[in-house]
Structure 1
Amino acid sequence: MIVAEVVRSGFVESVHHGIVAIVGGPGIGDVETPFFPRSSNKPLQTVGLLNAGFVPREEADLALVSASHDGEPFHVERVRAILAAAGIGPSSLGCPADLPLGETARRAWLRGGGEPERILMNCSGKHAGFLATCVINGWPLESYLEVDHPLQKALADAVSRLSGEPIAALGVDGCGAPIFAISPLGLARAFLRLVEASPGTPERRVADAMRANPSLVAGTGSEDTVLMEAIPGLIVKRGADGVSAAAIAGAGAVALKISDGASRARVPVLLAALRRLGVEVPDIVEPVLGGGRPVGEVRAVI
C-alpha cells in the first residue's frame, strides 16, 4: 500500500509503498509475512546477550550495543572500552572496516587522514557486545558470527521469544552477523515487550538504557536520537532498507518497512503511525531539496 508521497513544488512526483504494523491500532498491509528487520533487531539481540550472561561496565553500554552509531569519538571510545574490559582489542571485531556512518564524523575522520577501520563501523558496538559475551561464557571468538555458534543460537532464541513467533529465515546482515526474519507484527510486539517489562529485567534494562542515552543509539542529529529526545518514553531503532520500530509503554508499538528501501520515508510514516496511537509527536518534516533549499516534502498518507 502507498504509505508516503514525495511532493515537489506542490506536485506529487513519486510515492512509497510499505507495510506498517501497529500494536494498539490498525495496521497497514501484510503485517504477518516475515521480513528481515535488519538493525531494528539489535535491541532484541541485546536482551539475548544479557540472558546469556553479558555484564555491561555500565548500563549506558547497553544503548551502544543496541546501536547503529554514527562513529563519533564518544561512540568509538565506548566500543574500545567494552572490548578492553573483556580483555580483547578491535582486531577481534568481525564486522568489516568502514568509515563513520555520520556525515560530520566521517568528514572529520577523513580530514585527519583516517582510513576505514572495523571499530568505526556502525555495528561495532553490537559486535563488541557479542565478543564480550563469548569471553564470559568461554565460547570461541573466531567463529562468533557462524549461525551454529552458541551465541547466535542464544540470540535467535531471544528474538523468537520476544516476537512470539519462530524465526522464519536466516540471512547475513551488512555487518556480517546473522539476521533473523520475523514478521513486522512480531517486531512491534517485541518492542512493546521491552518498554512494558518489569524494571530490572533484561528487556526493561535495554529499553531504559536506550531512553537514557539516545545519543549512543544513533548520534548527534540522527533520526533515532532526535526522536527519542523529542518524545518522552519512546524507544526507536532504525534498520537498513527502510525499516524502523518504536514503542511507548501504555500506548503501543509500531514496526514499518518501506518496500523500496527508501530511508527518507521512515520518519514521516513512523510519526503518522505514532499519532494513530494517540502519541503527541513533533512536526518533523523530511524536506525535498532543490538548489540546496527546501522545495517540498516527503509526507505520510497512511
Structure 2
Amino acid sequence: ILIKIQLLQTHLLEASDSFASAWNWVDAYLKRVEEPAVYRMLRQSMVARRSLILLDGLDEGGEKREEIERHVTEVLMPQGHVLLATSRPDGIDASRFGRFYQLSLVPLTDAQQLQALERRLGSGGVRELRPHLERMPIDEATQQRITSNPLMLSMVASIFELRTGLAMPETTVQLYAEATRAMLARVGEQRVALALTPLVQAVFFEAHVAGQRVITASHLDIAAHRVADERGRGVLREAVEMDRMPLLSLLQTRPLQLQAAHLSFQEYFAARAICTGAYRLPE
C-alpha cells in the first residue's frame, strides 16, 4: 500500500476530524482516495496484517511532518503493520526511528558515475566532461563530489548536453540555476520561459513557507498576484497539463494539485526568492 506523504499531509489538512476518529491514518487516507470496494479490500489486508505499507517521503510532510512521524512510531508500528518508510538522509530523526532497521543508499562511486554518463553521453562525451567532473564541489556530508548524488549527476549531464563547447557550472547554485533554466526552456520560446521565471519562483516560495509539498490553485493565485502576472498563470498551468514543465508534476487537474519534480527545486527557488529581499518569511 503506497502512501505518498505529501498527499497524506494534504488530506490531513482538509479533513482532520476524519483522521482523528480513524483506526489509523492509512485507513482514513485510503477511505478518502479509493473506490469503496478497493478500500474494503485494502482495509481487510491491514486488519489481517498481510499488507506492506510503503510511506514515501517522510521528510515531505510539511507542517504535519511532526504529527505524521509520531503517528508512524506511536500508532502504526505498535499496531503491528509491516512498514517501509523512505526519506532523504538529513530528514531522519535517528532517535525517533531507533526501533526501525535503517538502510541507506551509498553515494555513487567514481566508476558508477562514469558508467552512467557513458550510457547517456557516449565515450566521447565522457572524455570531454571528465575534467569538469573532477572540479565539481565536495558535498560536506559525504566528503565526495556532489555528482555522487544521482540527481546532481543527471543535472550535470543535462547541462553538458545543452552547453556543448561552453564552460560548465562550478558550484551547486550554478548547477541548479542552469538546470532549472533548461527545464523552463521546454515551455516554449526562450522569451516566454524567462518571463515565467518570477512566477515559478513565487509559486515555490508560497508553497514552501506554507510548509506544503503539494502546490494548489491557491498558491498559484497568490503567486500570480504577487508578481502581477495573471497571463503567466494560465501559461504555466497549460504547460504543466501538457507535460512541458519538467520542474512541476501534475498530480490532478480538479482541484489543481502540483508538486516540484524534486523537493530540492522547491527549496532552491524559495531560497532564491528570499535572497532577492522582496520576499519575507512569516513572523
More RCO (CA 8 Å, sep 6+):
1
Per the normalisation by structure 1, the TM-score is 0.26
| Greater strand fraction, Structure 1 or Structure 2 | 1
If you compute each CA radius of gyration, which structure gives the higher value, 1 or 2? Answer: 2
Per the normalisation by structure 2, the TM-score is 0.27
